[in-house]
Amino acid sequence: MREWCHAIIGLVLVTAPVSAATFYVAPTGNDANSGAIDAPLSNIAVAVNLVGAGDTIYLRGGTYSYSTTINLTNAGTPAAPIKLWAYPNEHPFIDFSSMADNDANRGFRITTNAASGLGGCYWYIKGLEVYRAGDNGMKIEGSGNIIEFCSFHHNHDSGLQIGLGDSDLDLPFRVCSNQIINCDSYLNYDPRHGGGNADGFCCKLHPGQGNVFRGCRSWENSDDGWDLYKNQYDVTLDNCWTWHNGDPASFGTNSAGNAEGFKLGGDTDFYGPRMVTRCIAFMNHFGGSGAGKAFHQNDHQGPITLLNCLSFSNNYDYALNNSGGTHTVENCVGFDPYGPDHKLVSSNSTSSDIYINNSWNLPVTPNIADYVVLTEDAAKAPRQADGSLPNNGFARLVAGSDLIDKGVNVGLPFNGPAPDLGPFEFSFPRMVLIDAISMTDTGLNLHVTGLTSDGPIVVLASPDLAAWTPIFTNPPVTGGWTYVDPNAANMTQQFYQVEEQ
């Protein structure tokens, strides 16, 4: 009997670590350079063809002018995306003013070389300002991309679009899992269609699943703030704001689009769920009698969930008025429809729809006095240093509002015994330590410490410790700050306190 010996051979693959490459591009660079920080390239298109997974391109501040599309076709990986970032504390302007007005002329186009279109792209783009492209400022036709702290404006179609073409198939893992974070899109107008197509942001025309917008703002676009037309899969919108869309006067024309805030679908053959949390739509009241809807179903057949949203001064605030889908609307606020013939809530609700603890379901009367400020200027104030939305009191509730603690727990964080209605939880002002006082020729100096940028700083004064009057408000600050009261020398007695709102 022959005995066979079985040898088990272990194979170990050892690879040498590969260092990621970094390239620099500057308006004053030269494409014959190496791309090092002291020898930058000049053309973004040259740099993007040099990079692979894990590599970084830094754009130095200044203006870059282009007349053709910058195509991003090479790919990173989920663990090692390709970064195209503004150099720290510098601002690159990507100007496509010399690009022809044409449907194919996107500023940036992110796509995949895979024949199936199913490959991921995994680009991470941060800190760019993109404007005046002949069509979209940026078109995303790939997956796994992150676009952060970018702005898109004065483009000849939507500022940023995720999606394909009208005749493409719906595939869940194509054009999927893109994240748009803390971006702005405004004053986009498409002259080829009389303003009827240019949205701030859109995720339309057969994108895949898992696309997300978070902390984004969209204003004064010729059509809508957001458009999710012909989208079969889930989309998430969180903490996003949109206002003043569809106004022909913004573009010096006689025509514009639908003047809508969040257009949540379109066409009766699409069923993807929509999750909309803590979003704000206001002053969308332009166009005809059927236009100007803040949150609009637009024939979409899938379930729409609206949680802790705010709508005011629109033709229609919540227009979930078609059959199809089970809708859930909780802790939302709507008031001041723009005109006596328009409706706060235009809804043909079915027995399965859920409308709970919204301002129109409760004995509360929301109005402008419930908020610190609700102006356009406050909404489009500069973002914070990290790209997050301005913390200047916009849409924040004031003490004593009857909207405080009137909501139900929907899984979002809240203060107090119950959630507040609308997008922001009220928090009581925090007293800040006045650690130094001095009198100089300019007035009384009050120095405070321990500021956390949680909210605006308010200085209050009182002659008797009984009645306190706000005398100065400053934007959020981290660390220490000094207030100078030039009128203190004229007071026989004055007390001060400082609060961080």
Name the residues annotated as catalytic.
263
Edge-to-edge strand list for the sheet holding 22-25? 22-25, 56-59, 82-86, 123-126, 146-148, 179-181, 211-214, 235-238, 274-277, 304-307, 328-330, 354-356
Cβ neighbours of residue 258 closer than 8 Å, sequence gap 6 or more: 196, 223, 224, 246, 287, 291, 292, 293
Q: Transcribe 258-282 into DSSP letters.
A: --EEEE---STT----EEEES-EEE
- Determine how β-strand 495-500 pairs with β-strand 430-432: antiparallel
* Cβ–Cβ under 8 Å, residues 160 and 137: yes
CA distance 221 to 170: 27
Give, for 377, the enclosing helix (H) or strand (E): helix 376-379
The whole-angstrom separation of Cα 47 and Cα 50 is: 5
Residues whose CB is less than 8 angstroms from the CB of residue 422 and which lie 6 or more positions away in sequence, other chains included: 308, 309, 310, 331, 332, 333, 395, 397, 403
SS (H, E, C) 24-53: EECCCCCCCCCCECCECECCHHHHHCCCCC
At residue 396, what are phi and psi to the nearest 5 degrees? -90, 140
Q: Which of 344, 310, 501 lies closest to 420 in space, CA to CA?
A: 310
Q: Is residue 101 a contact partner of residue 192, using CB atoms and an 8 Å limit?
A: yes
CA distances from 78 to 53, 121, 281 (A): 9, 9, 33
Residue 291: is it exposed, middle or buried by C-beta count within 10 angstroms (0-12/13-18/19+)? Answer: buried
As a whole number of angstroms, the distance between CA 262 and CA 293 comes to 8
